[in-house]
């Protein structure tokens, strides 16, 4: 059974600081997604990482994927209050062409304080 672990689950940080959220998964996969969710809202797609070594950046967020270590990171640079949200990573297990749906981590609740 695929397990996806995020850490930390809760993060309070100050504006202007840098931090990294980690996403570990337990089985072979080369397809990983990052989502953002604001309170009471749906999921907003941030990044889709489809190969080992993939790195994507959008504004102050940068995501990377290391399939050998089964690890993805979401790095926040010079955080601003608007980035306060819950961030989820999700993995599709490798099934030789099939697809088993996304398995999500528990989410990282991020609060950025002025």
Partner 1 sequence: KAGVTQTPRYLIKTRGQQVTLSCSPISGHRSVSWYQQTPGQGLQFLFEYFSETQRNKGNFPGRFSGRQFSNSRSEMNVSTLELGDSALYLCASSLYPVGSYEQYFGPGTRLTVT
17: tokens are 């600081």
Cβ atoms 73, 46 nearer than 8 A = no
Residue 88 gets the label, from left (phi > 0), alpha (psi -120 to 50) or beta, of beta
36 binds partner 1 (CB under 8 A): no
User: Rule CB under 8 A: is residue 44 a binding residue for partner 1?
Assistant: yes
Q: What angle do CA 53, 9, 93 make, to 5 degrees?
A: 45
31 is a contact residue toward partner 1 (CB under 8 A): yes
| Interface stretch with partner 1, choices 17-25, 37-45, 53-61, 66-74 (CB under 8 A) | 37-45
Query: Could you give the residue ranges of the DSSP H alpha helices within the chain?
Result: none
- In 54-73, which positions are buried (b, 16+ CB within 10 angstroms) versus exposed (e)? beeeeeebbbbbebeebebb
Among 23, 54, 92, 112, binds partner 1 (CB under 8 A): 92
Looking at 25, 34, 35, 87, which residue binds partner 1 (CB under 8 A)? 35
**Which one of 14-22, 28-36, 61-69, 70-78 is the stretch in contact with partner 1 (CB under 8 A)?**
28-36
Kindly state whether residue 34 participates in binding partner 1, applying the rule CB under 8 A.
no
Q: Is 50 in the site for partner 1 (CB under 8 A)?
A: yes
* List of residues contacting partner 1 (CB under 8 A): 31, 33, 35, 41-45, 48, 50, 88, 90, 92, 98-107
């Amino acid at each position: 059974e695929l397990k996806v672990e995020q850490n930390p689950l809760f993060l309070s940080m100050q504006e202007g600081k840098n931090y990294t959220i980690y996403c570990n998964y337990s089985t072979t996969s080369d397809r990983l997604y990052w989502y953002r969710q604001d309170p009471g809202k749906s999921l907003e797609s941030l990044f889709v990482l489809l190969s080992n070594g993939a790195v994507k950046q959008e504004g102050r967020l940068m995501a990377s994927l290391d399939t050998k270590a089964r690890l993805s990171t979401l790095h926040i640079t010079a955080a601003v209050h608007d980035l306060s949200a819950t961030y989820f990573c999700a993995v599709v297990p490798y099934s030789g062409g099939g697809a088993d749906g996304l398995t999500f981590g528990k989410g990282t609740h991020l609060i950025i304080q002025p």
